[in-house]
Amino acid sequence: MSKRTVQFSIYRYDPDKDDAPYMQDISVDLEPTDRKLLDALTKLKAKDDAISYRRSCREGVCGSDAMNINGRNGLACLTDIDSLKQPIVLRPLPGLPVIRDLIVDMTQFFKQYHSIKPYLINNDPPPERERLQSPEDREELNGLYECILCACCSTSCPSFWWNPDKFVGPAGLLAAYRFLADTRDQATNERLDNLEDPYRLFRCHTIMNCVDVCPKGLNPTKAIGKIKDMMVRRAV
Amino acid sequence: MINRIVVGAHYGLRDWIAQRATAVIMAVYSVLIAAVLLIVRPASFEAWQGIFANGFIKFVTFLFFVSLFYHAWIGIRDLWMDYVKPTGIRLSLHVITLAVLVGYAAWAASILWRL
C-alpha cells in the first residue's frame, strides 16, 4: 500500500463548548503501514488533539473503539481503511447518550448486561480443582463466551433504540444464553423467569442487525432463539 | 410517585407462540382455500355461497379470521408498546384495539353463518 490521503467527516460535539453537534470535514495523510481505521484515527488525533474516541488494545479484543463507520457499527481497529468509501463518515454508536465526539455513555448497555446476572450461579461447595464439563457440553459455549461487549450489536438494534431501559438487547441476551447453556450453572429456572417478559426478551423481532454487525462474527439472534426454545420446552 | 422503571411482567412466551401458531394456521388456510377455489372455479354468487355453506369450510374460515385477529392483536400491541410511552394512553389503545378486534370477529361470524 502506498502513501495516500484519506477524507473524513467526523461527528464532533464537546458539551462544554458546542451548542449542538456538527460534522467536521478533515483529511489525513497515511503511511503505507497504516492499514486500519484506528491507524488513521491516531494520525487524526496527532493533527487535532481535541478529537476524542476510546481505544485500548488496538486488536479487536477490548471492544473500546466501537463506532458507527459509514453508517455501520464496527471496531475501528478491525476495519480496513482502504475498504471504506470516502469521505469516511464517523459517528458515535447510535442510540446512546454522547459524552464527547465518538465517546458514548454505555451505562444503559451495562445495566442491561448486569441484569441477566452474567456470572456462574452454583451453590454446591467448589471442588478441589475445578467444576468439570464434558467436551460436548463445553462445545455449546462456543460462539457465546467470545463476546467483548463492544455494544456494536445492541446499538444497531431498533428494539434497543426504542426500549433501551426495558429490552435487554442482543449483547445481554447472548450473555444470558451463555449461562443458560452452561451445565455448571444451577439457576436456569430463575434465569428463564427473569427473561419471561414482553420487553426483556420478546422485544426481539429477529431483525438480525446484531448478527450483521458483530465484529467477532457471533450470532445473538440464534442465542435468543435458543432461549425461546428453552422456554417452550419448559412450558409445553 | 418516583418514576422508577418497572419491568418483569412474567408473560410473553404464550403470545410469542400464539403469534407463530396463528401464522401457520393462516398459511395453511390460504393454501387450502386457493386449492378449493382452483378446483371449484366458482363463477356465480351461488357457487361462492355453495363453497362457504359447507360446514368444514365455514369452520376453517372462521378459524382463519380468529387467527388473523389474535395475530393482529399481538402485532398491534407490540406497536403501542414500542411507540406509545404514557401508560394511560397505551392502556386505552390496548382496550380500543381489543374491542375493535373482538367486534370484527363477531362480525366475521355473523357474515359466515348468514351464508
Write the secondary structure of chain A as one string of H (helix), E (strand) and C (coil): CCCEEEEEEEEECCCCCCCCCEEEEEEEEECCCCCEHHHHHHHHHHHCCCCCCCCCCCCCCCCCCEEEECCEEEEHHHCEHHHCCCCEEEECCCCCCEEECCEECCHHHHHHHHHCCCCCCCCCCCCCCCCCCCHHHHHCCCCCCCCCCCCCCHHHCHHHHHCCCCCCHHHHHHHHHHHHCCCCCCCHHHHHHHHCCCCCCCCCCCCCHHHHHCCCCCCHHHHHHHHHHHHHHHHC
Going by pLDDT thresholds of 50, 70 and 90, the confidence category of residue B93 is very high
Chunked into runs of 10 residues, chain A (236 residues) has average pLDDT values of: 92 96 96 96 95 96 97 97 96 97 97 97 94 96 97 97 95 98 97 96 96 98 97 94
The confidence score (pLDDT) of residue A193 equals: 96
Our CA-based measurement puts residue B28 at a distance from the nearest CA of chain A, in whole angstroms, of: 22
- Which pLDDT belongs to residue B4? 84
So what's the pLDDT on residue B3? 77
Tell me what percent of the residues of chain B surpass a pLDDT of 90: 90
Q: Which of B19, B78, B82, B85 to mutate to test the interface with A (most CBs of A within 10 A)?
A: B82
Q: Enumerate chain A positions whose Cβ falls within 8 A of a Cβ in B.
A: 159, 162-163, 165-166, 193-194, 196-203, 205, 228, 231-232, 235
Please, what are the domains in chain B?
A: 12-112 (1.20.1300.10)
> Number of A:B CB contacts under 8 A?
46
- Nearest chain A residue to B9, by CA: A197
Residues of B in contact with A232 (CB under 8 A): 13, 17
| Non-local CB neighbours of B34 within 8 Å, separated by 6+ positions | none
A42-55 residue pLDDT tens: 999 999 999 999 99
Confirm if A45 and A57 have CB atoms less than 8 A apart.
Answer: no
Would you tell me how many other CB atoms lie within 10 Å of the CB of residue B59? 11
**C-beta neighbour count of A200 within 10 angstroms:** 26
Q: Is the ipTM of this complex over 0.95?
A: no
Q: Is B41 on the interface with A (CB under 8 A)?
A: no
Task: Flag if A196 and B12 touch (Cβ within 8 Å).
Answer: yes
- Reference A93, options A145, A41, A161; nearest CA is A161
What pLDDT is attached to residue A1?
67
pLDDT at B1 over 70: no
CB contact under 8 A, A163 and B82: yes
Chain A: give the shortest CA distance to residue B32, in Å: 28
Q: pTM here?
A: 0.92
- Report the pLDDT value the prediction gives residue A58, as an integer from 0 to 100: 93
Percent of chain B whose pLDDT exceeds 70: 98
Look at A232 and B12 and tell me if their CB atoms are within 8 Å: no
The per-residue pLDDT for A161 is: 96
Nearest to A75 by CA among A31, A27, A41: A41
